[in-house]
Amino acid sequence: MRKVDEISESKRQEYLSVITREGAKLEGLVDDFLEFSRLETGQLRLDFRSTSLDIELEELFQVYKLKADQPKLKIELRFDSFLPVIEADANRLRRVIANLLDNAIKFSRIGGRIIMSAQGQEEEIIVSVADEGIGISAVDLPYIFDLFHRGNDTSMHRGHGLGLSIVKSIVEGHGGRVVASSSMNQGSTFTVYLPKRR
């Protein structure tokens, strides 16, 4: 074992950076698991308030437009000129869409396009995130919302299989549902259906 005083300052900083980064990942994993557990057991109460979904989507779009620019992706926002105000937990709905956008960026190819869209129906609002990425195999597709499930084609990407489980729990906590469609090497679309009224 090397003595501490034999390690250069630059190496110490490198080791510290690795420890800090891995610690943050572990903390995030624990937080995600705790939130999922509370959602599933009903211990986490959603804070329902009047929510302007078009404003929430526009704000997320501005944030993710910058994120998508890093791997040279193009992100588009399309929605009805007017989306009705709904009763929702705005913070957790933002987390739902943010998670779907993070996944779309993670599994997209350089130069690809991501489309976030929303439209109002008679009884519900439909929000979707579509990408032109690597897609999800037909074998994995039925299980992607299962806790800790990670597909056979995601070995090169970080993750613990919690994100989509949390998405599903939050959406169902709003009385809605989320579905996914995908084709290998052609991309994926995640669609969230939210009731206008609780």
pLDDT tens string 20-43: 766 655 555 556 556 666 666 665
**CA distances, 40 to each of 32, 132, 145, 171, 187 (Å):** 12, 32, 13, 12, 29
Question: 42-72, pLDDT tens digit by residue?
Answer: 656 788 999 998 899 999 999 999 888 877 8
Residue 152: helix, strand or coil by DSSP? coil
Contacts with 68 (C-beta within 8 Å, 6 or more apart), sequence order: 74, 75, 105, 114
Q: What is the pTM of this model?
A: 0.77
